[in-house]
A = this chain, B = another copy of it.
Amino acid sequence: MTTIYDVAEVAGVSISTVSHVLNRTRPVREETRTRVLAAMQKLEYRPSSLARAMVRQKTRTIGLIVPDNVNPFFAELARGIENYGFDAGYSVMLCNSDQSAEKEVAYLDMLISKRVDGVIYMTSDAAEERLAPLRSQMIPVVTFDRDFPGVHTVMLENHRGGFTATEHLINLGHRRIACVAGNYSTSHSQDRVSGYRDALEQNGLVYDPALVLIGDWSLASGKSAALHFMRMAQPPTAIFACNDIMAIGAISGLHTLGLAVPDDISLVGFDDISVSAYTVPALTTVATPVRELGEMMCQMLVDTIGGVIDGTAIRRTLSGKLVVRESTAPPHRR
C-alpha cells in the first residue's frame, strides 16, 4: 500500500506539499502540483482514511442500528439513510440488534470504538440508559419515535395513523373491528392502538380487549392473529394490523380459511411497503414515507455532526396518509 511518503519521494517534494495538493488546502505552484498528481497516479495512491481520521477526529462514518434489515420497513429506511449518507460523503455501518438489549450494547460499544461520527438508533424498547456512553463521548444520535432528552428524533403520527385507518373501516360500516398490535414496548405500536381505540369510542363503538392481539410484526404473527380472530364465536368483520407485514400474514391466514378479502373481511395495514401494492388483493394501508424518513434522519445527523444544528434536541414529525386499495369494503351481509 503506497503512502504519502512514497508520493512525496517520487514527486521530489515534502509530504506537506502532497497533503496540500490532495486537500487543496493551500496554493501550490502549478508545476509542482502536476508533478505530485502524476506521482499519485503512477503509484495508484489512495490516502488512508484511517490516518486522516486520527488527526481530524472525524471518520465520516455513521452507525445504523435496526432490529432487522430484512424487515422491509427497516430495509427501506436503511436505503434512505445510505442514499443521503453517500451524497454527503458518509459511509454507514449496518448493525442488526434482533431487538436484543445485549446486541444493542455490543454494537454501541463497537461503534464507539470505531469512532463513528454519529449513530441512527432504531431501538426496540425505551431504554434510554443505553445511550449514556454515546452521550459521554459526545456522539450525536438520532432516534425514531422516541422522546429521549437531548436526542434528536423523528416522530411519526402513529396515533393519527391508527385513528385514520380505523375510521376508514367504520365509515365503510364496520362495527366489529379487530386490531393486531406490535410488541415493541413503545409508542410505535401503542399509539397506533390508542388511535384505533379512540376512533372506535368517538364513533360510539366499544373497545373490546378481546379484539386486540399482540403480534411481533412478522408475517407469521399476522397470520396466526387472523386465524385466532376468525375462530371466535363472533368474529370481526375487519382487521387493522399495525404494519403491512402482519396484514399480509393476515391475508394469507384468511385465504387458508377459505375467506375472501374484502368480501368476507376487510383489512388495513400500516407502512405501505412496496409489496403492499401488489398483494392480492392490494392492501389498503397508512402510507409512511419511509425512505424520506431515512433521508431526514440522516440529514439531521449529518447536520449535527457538521455543526449546522446546535446542541438542542430537535423533533420533526412525519404524517402517514391513508391509501385505499382493494382490501377494504363494506361488511358482507349474510
Contacts and interface: CB of A to CB of B under 8 A. Distances in A.
A274 interface: yes
Question: Which are the 4 A-B pairs with shortest beta-carbon distances?
Answer: A252-B278, A94-B94, A49-B113, A255-B280
A79 B50 contact: no
Mostly, the A contact residues are helix
**What class of interface size applies to chain A in its complex with B?**
35 or more
B136 A44 contact: yes
Nearest to A103: B86
A78 interface: yes
Given A46-B112, A252-B280, A252-B282, 13 more contacts: A1-B137, A50-B50, A50-B54, A54-B54, A69-B69, A69-B78, A70-B72, A75-B75, A93-B94, A219-B277, A223-B278, A275-B275, A280-B280
A137 B82 contact: no
A112 B255 CA distance: 50
A91 B110 CA distance: 8
B94 A82 contact: yes
Interface of A: 1, 44, 46-51, 53-54, 59, 61, 64, 68-70, 72, 75-76, 78-79, 82-83, 86, 91-96, 103, 106-107, 109-110, 112-115, 133, 136-137, 219, 223, 248-249, 251-252, 255, 274-275, 277-282
A149 B251 CA distance: 48
B83 A79 contact: no
Given A54-B50, A92-B94, A93-B93, A70 B79 contact: yes
Contact of A274 (B70, B113, B278): B70
A213 to B, nearest CB: 17
A333 to B, nearest CB: 24
Given A69-B69, A82-B69, A94-B78, A48 B115 contact: yes
Nearest to A223: B278
Nearest to A78: B69
A46 B113 CA distance: 6
A117 B281 CA distance: 47
A275 B283 CA distance: 14
A274 B103 CA distance: 24
Contacts of A115: 48-50
Contacts of A79: 68-70, 96
A164 to B, nearest CB: 25
A103 B54 CA distance: 27
Contact of A46 (B50, B137, B255, B279): B137
Contacts of A280: 251-252, 255, 279-280
A248 B276 CA distance: 11
Contacts of A76: 70
A114 B95 contact: no
A1 to B, nearest CB: 6
A177 to B, nearest CB: 22
A109 B278 contact: no
A265 B275 CA distance: 21
B68 A114 contact: no
B91 A93 contact: yes
